[in-house]
Chain A
Amino acid sequence: MNAPAPSLSSLWARTETRLALFGLSGVASAYVGFLGLSVAHAEAVVKRGGYYVMLAAFALFLHALWRLHRSGAPGADPPLTRRQRVLALAAIAVFSLLAIASDRFQSKILFDEFVLQSTAFNMHFFRDVATMVRGYDIQGVFLSTDNYLDKRPYFYPFVVSLVHDFTGYRPLNAYLLNAALMPVSLGLVFALGRRLAGWAGGMLAVLLLGSLPLLGQNATGSGMELLNVVMILAVILLGAGYLRRPDEDTLAPLLLGSVLLAQARYESALYVGPAALVAGLGWWRSRRIILPWQAELLPWLLVPVALQNKVLSNSPILWELTEQANTRFSLSYVAGNLRGAYGFFFNTSEEMANSLLLSVLAPVAILWALWRLARAGRRLVQGDPARISFAAFGLAIIANTLLVFCYYWSSFSDAMAARFSLPLCLLLVFLIVMLAAELDRRWPATRILVLATVLFAAGVSTARFAGHHYSHIGIDEIEWQRRFVDARPGPRLVITNRSTLPWLVEKTPSILIDRARLVADRLQHQLRDSNFREILVTQSLPPTTVDGDYQVLPAERLPGFHLELLAERRFGSKLVRISRLISIDDSVLPSPKAPPPKVRAIMQ
């Protein structure tokens, strides 16, 4: 007599089955992600389906967190006293307030942040992972008429689009999200610091990171850095929780968190590695293979990452290479980037968003960490779960930093690239916290450092936050143009010399000056047809002699276009001008195409 066929549930209960399914799922998804689709198909799949995959990953992550919450925190830290809780909350509140109040809600990195906002726009309105190139108000609806799949990971735009979904579309939502993420990130910093070095360690970590202007700068921007920081911290904490109590409920949020983290910034895909390592360590520590059902879906959730990377690798125009660089990654960039890193960390002027205290303490902490790692050896994997998780992700942060150093545009002393140092700063902060905790056995090192950091924050960081000289890289002129244009009655078309994105996210149609030259006939038609109340042109005029003598940049001239000057303002050393298009000479119109054949001719 044959044995009864095993039921599906009993099959599922068997570890080998789940492992086999996971392997199959991995192979199939790898094929789809890397081999199975052409670049054009890959772009189409991510554009049309990326949103839904992200939605699924996010929903699964929230569900896993909910289950973790219901199953109880893995292990319990000693409870905080009322005084400790009040002080920690006060520190988080003060540094969040400091960051949010000291700068305006405006873009810090041009035009990255507008690209992200534009992607969020399309995700909200059309569920497309796409960035607008052109957009027009057609019968009352602002439609994205031309768009492309951008290179940037889209977890942040996805979260912004969720905020739009729940509160209505407004570009401000992107800033409010980051402002809200600031206390969340400091809260997680406290939680991790506390796990690594007790309450005082948590406080020190909050103070060190809260007084870092680079972190605070992002609280009033619309970039993806803060979400990346939040996800790194969350995943390290989830890793620590999993190692403390390895089971399905603790592993699922770790794995799903790492999937989302991989889509928070380009290089954050690296953190999938330590997440897998921590998962394996958990198996080893619990002497069993733990594979929650969500793990089967993981490879598929990562497919859009692979497809997007495929599109990026085959679209050199997205690489934004300069004339000096002809490849994105090269060891030849390392020396220059190292000099840039030194220039950033040890700069004493107010131009950099650095923290000298962190920079001075960090080398000592790094040396100590290397010495400890060398001594710990094999014992490390049996040690404190929080420290193991931190060490695993710390190694990924180091790999992240090395990767960044090989990138052609990663000099931390460049205000546009300084933000790439944030994960490294995180690592340094916690190394200092752990070193201080070690020294506490002999001296009150943490207390002294807390006091020193408070004084440093009050005396140095507050001034950096107040001046925020590192935040004025081109955005002021865009904000001025937007204020000026907003104050005029619409509808209008803006012919811009910079980027159309800042206008499009505000639902103002915009084209570049280059395109304006090409479509002069259409513009002339618009002038006659009055679809727009006015057509505005923005241009910049750099000084051409030591005495000024400003002239319009050749690339921004519009020969044959008659303009009326409306406003002019200096930004740094250049002038920015807003004019109104009055008329276009017929001589600059493109030559007319052959007239369409007459109906009678067709009939014949």
Chain B
Amino acid sequence: MDGFFMTIFGFFRADRRMTLLVLNGIAALVLGFFTFTPDQSLNAVIHGGYWAMLILTVLFGWSLLRLARKSFSGWSAWRSAPRWPLVLILVCGLVLLVHEAYGFKILMDEVMLLGTSMSMHFQKVALVPMRANDIQGAFQIVAGQLDKRPLFQPFLVSLIHDLTGYRPENVFVLNTVLTFVLLALAFRLGNRIAGRLAGAAGVLLLTGLPLLAQNATGGGFEILNLVMILSTVLLGMRFARDRDGDSLQAFALSGILLAQTRYESVLFLLPVAALILWVWWADQRPVLSWMFVFAPLYLLPYALHNKVFSLRQSSWEMASQPGYDKPFALSYIPDNFQHALNFFFNTTGEQSNSIVLSVLGFLTLPFFLLWAANVLREGRAATPVRVATAIFGFGFLAHTVLMMVYFWGKFDDPVIRRLSLPLNLWLALSIVVVVGELGRGRRWPWQALLVAAVGGLFAYSLPNMARHDYSMVYYPGRETQWRRDFIAAHPERDYLVIDNSSITWITHLVSSTPVRQALEHKENIVFNFRNHSFTAIYVFQNFVVDDATGREVINAADDLGPDYQLETVEERRFAYPTIARISRVVSVRDGPVTMPRPAPSPIDKLSPDQLEKVRQEYFAKFIQQLP
């Protein structure tokens, strides 16, 4: 114990910047968690979030440039390098991109991210636009709300908007580019661990994962998250090897940006910190740089943004999964585990899994953990690549455990599958590491793995990607595409849409308002209707077909009540028994609002408890209404 403290004190003596680092850490804790009220924190993120992302991205880019300048060995080295990895990456990237149409696959995540990028582009604030209209020819955001999702991906999309003009499809451009970057990084990581064949195996294993293809053609932040994880691991390996300030700051900034890519990716800061401490311990001196000394403060945006969860309990979306009262609990593990098994080993094609990756990955995972524990026991003798891989292995483990204790951590749920992506990446990493250990200079294990990966790709993944049942079954994604088709067919965008998914329309520069607003402020709709403020007013509604009567029952949240007279324009059935309908408002009755009255449920569908509850409510009203 004395030795440990002596080492720590030694660090402070060796470099006085250690004191500043600790002070910055304390300042970050105090400012991030104790100084500001939740409202103040969110305001700081709304108005400072863009700038924080800009500064962090510039710093990260600059530190990568410094590393690139150091390690650039001339164009001749590039020219003499083999070309097949590049071809492999290009072909595999295309395979991932060609089977599904680009679209916003996961509601409301992807549209909310797009909304934040839109506000970042137009106003440099981190808000999802809630109200926006064409006022004087320009589409202006009138009101917005800070979203719970981290800001790095919307920031990058906003940069593309800045340079090429605003269009929702820019997010697909980003994800397309990132898909190739991801495969390149996967190749690089495999190459660092066990050579080029390992790199090729990593690329092929990822290419065989339909979930990756689904997200590569979506508008989410999952691909960026994977890119940042791999970037952090690779930069960690470099730092463990070079042990200098430049490598340290690139590694730390990559970890910090990763923490601001997805909520739970902040967990990867643990292996980042562990690897830095391991290097210091191995060197018996702290490796620092001036930029790194302020690194704790770079995490302030994350800490402040996180308060959205304490301010808005609804951010946890507990209501979407009835029966849960805590976001995290150990008791969720058995259920989540079953769902995970269903996801990883389902062979029907309804899950976007890769059987080869699942089978080989879960076979090798225990060996990987044993290997990682052994590597850490080796201490200073372990090579940088092995140490970094082992430490980040435990980061992946922590991530997986967190998913298993999450109330909505059901990997076979269409909305949640994407949360398994880091675990899938870990499985690929495990396979590469374990086969690398098995192989030790022999080619046959790699050849066998490559055959398995290619075989799995052709026999299982490609037909599943071609059918992509897993995307089709999630009909809100197709509904969003239908909205986009409607917008494309009505390019003037001079109409108003009443839709509870108003953000989808607003992010496509169409005026929109939710049903509730249209009901509670009917007078505004009447005013605009009478004055032709919009060329037309449309309504998007969902209906459920009652299988007993064949009657279409409107979704209560979409009901505009009897004051609105509607005329059907288009109707689509995306999944039985739901019908989506776009109608045009033909007239709006003036005067007091008549709230919609839901149709009564058939009595044979009410349970005794529900019947009793209704009876009690009716009785209470009956008493109130007595003359």
Contacts and interface: CB of A to CB of B under 8 A. Distances in A.
A102 B121 CA distance: 11
Contact of B162 (A462, A468, A475, A550): A462
A268 to B, nearest CB: 31
B54 A455 contact: yes
Contact of A550 (B54, B124, B138, B531): B531
B161 A466 contact: yes
B316 interface: no
Interface string B111-143: 000000000011110000000000111101000
Contact of B527 (A455, A547, A571): A547
B163 A459 contact: no
Given A94-B163, A568-B535, A569-B532, 8 more contacts: A98-B163, A101-B164, A102-B162, A466-B121, A472-B136, A547-B531, A548-B530, A570-B531
B494 A570 contact: yes
Contacts of A60: none
Nearest to A550: B531
B188 to A, nearest CB: 25
Nearest to B158: A462
Contact of A459 (B50, B138, B165, B492): B50
A458 B532 contact: no
A33 to B, nearest CB: 43
Contacts of B140: 467, 469
Nearest to B162: A462
A469 B138 contact: yes
A567 B535 CA distance: 8
Interface in B42-57: 50-51, 54
B538 interface: no
Interface in B84-122: 121-122
Interface in B493-550: 494, 527, 530-535
Contacts of B532: 550, 568-570, 575
A543 B138 CA distance: 20
Contact of B124 (A98, A459, A472, A569): A459
Contacts of B494: 480, 569-570
B166 interface: yes
Given A98-B162, A569-B494, A463 B527 contact: no
17 contacts: A458-B162, A460-B124, A463-B122, A463-B123, A466-B162, A466-B166, A467-B138, A472-B136, A475-B137, A476-B137, A543-B531, A547-B527, A547-B530, A548-B531, A550-B531, A550-B532, A570-B534
Which 9 residue pairs are nearest across A and B when measured between Cβ atoms? A472-B137, A548-B531, A101-B165, A462-B162, A476-B137, A101-B164, A572-B136, A469-B138, A466-B122
A516 interface: no
A97 interface: yes
A567 B536 CA distance: 11
Given A97-B163, A548-B530, A469 B136 contact: yes
A548 B137 contact: no
Nearest to A100: B165
Interface in A455-496: 455, 458-460, 462-463, 465-469, 472, 475-476, 480, 483
A568 B534 CA distance: 9
Interface residues of B, number: 27
B164 A463 contact: no
B124 A463 contact: yes
A349 to B, nearest CB: 12
A462 B121 contact: yes
Interface of A: 94, 97-98, 101-103, 455, 458-460, 462-463, 465-469, 472, 475-476, 480, 483, 543, 547-548, 550, 567-572, 575
A569 B535 contact: yes
Contacts of A543: 531
A460 B165 CA distance: 15
A175 to B, nearest CB: 15
A72 B527 CA distance: 70
A574 to B, nearest CB: 10
A467 B161 CA distance: 12
B51 A459 contact: yes
Contact of A458 (B54, B161, B531, B533): B54
B48 to A, nearest CB: 11
Contacts of B135: 572
B119 to A, nearest CB: 10
Q: Which of A463, A476, A543, A548 has the most CB of B within 10 A?
A: A463
Contacts of A575: 531-532
B151 to A, nearest CB: 14
A352 B534 CA distance: 27
Nearest to B165: A101
B54 A459 contact: yes
A462 B51 CA distance: 13
B133 to A, nearest CB: 11
Nearest to A473: B137
Contact of B164 (A97, A103, A550): A97
A117 B593 CA distance: 53
B492 to A, nearest CB: 7
Interface in B142-163: 161-163
A571 B54 CA distance: 36
A467 B138 CA distance: 7
A459 B51 CA distance: 7
A463 B535 CA distance: 29
Given A468-B138, A472-B137, A547-B527, A570 B122 contact: no
Nearest to A350: B123
A102 B532 CA distance: 29
Contacts of A550: 531-532
A480 B164 contact: no
A548 B527 contact: yes
B140 to A, nearest CB: 8
Contact of A472 (B51, B138, B527): B138
A550 B530 CA distance: 10
Nearest to A103: B165
B52 to A, nearest CB: 11
B408 to A, nearest CB: 36
Nearest to A484: B492
A97 B164 CA distance: 7
Interface in B248-263: none
A469 B141 CA distance: 12
Nearest to B160: A101
A81 to B, nearest CB: 14
Nearest to B125: A463
A472 B530 CA distance: 25
A252 to B, nearest CB: 40
A463 B121 contact: yes
B125 to A, nearest CB: 9
A139 B121 CA distance: 51
Contact of A102 (B165, B492, B527, B534): B165
A473 B534 CA distance: 19
Nearest to A472: B137
Contacts of B122: 463, 466-467
Nearest to A567: B535
B57 to A, nearest CB: 10
Contacts of B51: 459
A94 B163 CA distance: 7
A395 to B, nearest CB: 37
Contacts of A567: 535
Q: Which of A94, A466, A572 has the most CB of B within 10 A?
A: A466
A460 B278 CA distance: 42
Nearest to A480: B492
A94 B164 CA distance: 10
A568 B532 CA distance: 8
Contacts of B533: 570
A101 B163 contact: yes
B318 to A, nearest CB: 36
Contacts of B535: 567-570
A113 B115 CA distance: 35
A468 B50 CA distance: 20
A548 B531 CA distance: 6
Contacts of B121: 462-463, 466
